[in-house]
Amino acid sequence: MSGDRPPAEGPGDRPERGDDALPSDLDATFDFDAEFAKAFGPQPPVRSVIVAPVADARKLAEVCTLASVHAHVVPVKGLGCALVTVDPASGEADVEKLSAVLRGAEIVLLVVREEAIEGQTWRDGQRGEDPRPGLLLSLWPDVMQQLVLGKLDAAEAAGAALGGEGSRIGSFWKLFTRRGGEPDADVPPGERS
């Protein structure tokens, strides 16, 4: 009976040890899943942009210094400020720290990758719902789209300030005095906070 015999093997059914053989490093140690993830998995961020509802870029830069967030802070009329992180990979950690300091404010993070833009909202150090970045960019001022797409260098933007630099004590002093380092002249020394 023909059902009792195994089928005959053809020329391509069994690898031969010759020029057509698999490389030796693929025999036992090749991890297809790891190689696939490395080649096609999440790509590192190209840019991370945080949007905070704070109007004063200089004061927000001081808050960034207090929170150890390194970013260029750009004022955006009608929106607050955009922060372009110095290290694009630190965006999520930076927005978490910043949202914990700016309690009660909803902060948006846009992470730009090679082929996509991802959005996150944060409040009080906790991640919220993910917004649609395209919808946000269509509603926000044009300068936001320029910052997110890298067409505008945040360091060169009008009114930009660098956050995360300098001493935390100096930043604290600047934030809680009226003129950025000078004590309140019209408040008696015993009543200053």
pLDDT per residue over 68-95, tens digit each?
999 999 999 999 999 999 999 999 999 9
Please report, for residues 41, 47, 70, 126, the alpha-carbon distance to residue 165 in angstroms, rounded to integers and kept in the order given: 34, 19, 7, 25
CB 14 within 8 A of CB 58: no
Q: What is the pLDDT of residue 4?
A: 64
Q: 16-72: per-residue pLDDT in tens?
A: 555 555 555 555 677 777 777 777 777 789 999 999 999 999 999 989 988 899 999
Average pLDDT (114-130) is: 95
Strands laid side by side in the 80-85 sheet: 126-127, 117-123, 107-112, 47-52, 80-85, 71-76, 161-163
The mean pLDDT of 88-113, rounded to a whole number, is 95
- The pLDDT > 90 percentage for the chain reads 56
pLDDT over 70 at 15, yes or no: no
pLDDT (tens digit per residue) in 154-163: 999 999 999 8
